[in-house]
Each structure stands twice: as C-alpha cells, then as structure tokens.
Amino acid sequence: MRTNDRILDFDIELAADRPSQTLAARLARLVTWFGSLHVALRNRLAANSLADLDERLLNDLGLSRGDVQDVLRRHGLVDDPSQQLTRLARRRAERSLRGHKSD
C-alpha cells in the first residue's frame, strides 16, 4: 500500500517578516481617516437638522420623522447615517411611483 504525503503550504507572514510601512504611508492613512471622520460628522449634523423639519417637508423628501429618529438612534455618534436615509427616501419614492401607498 502506498501513502501519499500531502503538504499544505500556508503563506503566513509574521509581523517581524513584514516590512513596516513608511511614515508617508502612515500619514496618508491618517489623513484619509480624518477626512472620512469629517464627512461622517458633517453628514450626521445634516441628518440631525432633518429632525427639525416639519412633517410636510420631510414627506417631500420621502422621509418621516420616525425614519430620521430611528436611523439616528441606530447609528453611533461618528457614523454616517446619510446612506441609510437616502436608501429609505429612494425606496419610498419608488413605491410611490409604482402606485403603492406610502407607510
């Protein structure tokens, strides 16, 4: 009887084997992170200002006060709720165009 040896070659890289990032690369990542944080905070403030609008204006945007409050409650302080609000408004607009009653 013959036995075949199977060898699995894992490409595991140890931290000591990995070349460290240059200072410029680390600074670029840091600048990108701060830029993302800035955009998220700006969009969070804009979403908070939506809560100050009356129901008629929110309805024109395709949102309800409950939508805005739910999204703001579910997202953290530095999270960007704008994508979720945009999806909700688009979904409501598509339903309206198809003739479905808005909830």
* 67-75 average pLDDT score: 87
Residue 35, in any domain of the structure: yes
Q: Who contacts 78 (Cβ-Cβ below 8 Å, separation ≥6)? A: 37, 40, 41, 44
Q: Which domain holds residue 43?
A: 24-97
Residue 90, in any domain of the structure: yes
pLDDT value at residue 7: 58
3-state helix/strand/coil string of 39-88? HHHHHHHHHHHHCCCCHHHHHHHCCCHHHHHHHHHHCCCCCCCHHHHHHH
Into how many domains does the chain fold?
1
Residue 65, in any domain of the structure: yes
Asked if the model's pLDDT at residue 27 lies above 90, the reply is yes
Residue 4, in any domain of the structure: no
pLDDT value at residue 48: 85
pLDDT value at residue 8: 56
Residue 15, in any domain of the structure: no
36's enclosing H/E stretch is: helix 23-50
The Cα 8–Cα 10 span in angstroms is 6
Kindly report, residue by residue over 80-95, the tens digit of the pLDDT.
788 889 989 999 888 8
Residue 19, in any domain of the structure: no
Dihedral angle of Cα 73, 79, 80, 86, to the nearest 10 degrees: -40
Residues above pLDDT 90, as percent of the chain: 17
Residue 51, in any domain of the structure: yes
Distance of CA 9 to the CA centre of its chain: 37
